[in-house]
Amino acid sequence: MQDMNKSLVTGILIVITAVVVLFGVLLLQEVRRATEPVAALREQLNTQFDRLFNPTPTIRPDPISIVHEVRALARLETIQYAVEKVITAETGQEYLGFLFGDRLLFVAHGTVIAGVDLDKIGVDDIEVDSDNRVILELPNAEIFATILDNEKSYVYDRNKGFLTRGDEQLESAARLAAEREIERAALEDGILDQAQVNAEAYLYRLLRSLGFPDVTIRWETP
């Protein structure tokens, strides 16, 4: 009889436990269904606040383009340098810089392109003798372009004083300084000399391939 009672009690406990678990699952599902609109509303509000405080810039190019000048170019680009420079730009650092100063570190990536402007070659700069030997005088190499890579260039750090909104032109000034420094670095590294070496080798091979047996290339007096 006792064994039967124990089995009955055990069965009742199992049934009660199962009912409690089932009720808990159902209750949890109801709570989730009840809180889903709240969670969705919270996520929507977070999205709206994020858009408000971190707006995505809207860019609308004017459909009208004005072409000011069109020029024909005969430039032989013979070398390109890729240069990285770190520029420090600052203002208001003399007195009370922690209140009114503005300083930024700008990491600049840019390219410098150099070569020879073949449009400067005149009739007097080319001599061909009776044996088909060529003497070619070339203008000195020059910098064609110094281009700042906006995708790779960025402001690494900026510190503004507590009582200033910062100089709106400081980053623009840093970019201009970066272009000058990138070009200066390329010049100091001998970009023009290498541009002339490359141009001379290219034109020598070109003229020889056209059937001239002897090619002499000279450069303008610096």
Provide the β-strand partners of residue 115. 77, 142
Same domain (yes/no): 90, 43: no
User: How many domains in the chain?
Assistant: 2
Same domain (yes/no): 89, 190: yes
Domain end among 67, 92, 119: 67
Same domain (yes/no): 28, 57: yes
Residue 174: the pLDDT is 92
For residue 143, what are the CA distances in angstroms to 53, 186, 190? 44, 10, 11
Query: For the whole prediction, is pTM greater than 0.85?
Result: no
Tell me the three state secondary structure of residue 29: helix
Percent of the chain with pLDDT over 70: 70
- Decide which of 162 and 48 is more confident: 162
The pair of three-digit structure tokens given for residue 121, joined into one six-digit string: 């070659």
- Decide which of 197 and 65 is more confident: 197
Residue 158: the pLDDT is 85
Cα 86 to chain centroid distance, Å, stands at 14
Domain end among 21, 49, 67: 67
- Decide which of 25 and 160 is more confident: 160
For residue 75, what are the CA distances in angstroms to 145, 198, 200, 210? 11, 13, 14, 20
Same domain (yes/no): 81, 58: no
Q: How many CB atoms lie within 10 A of CB 125?
A: 14
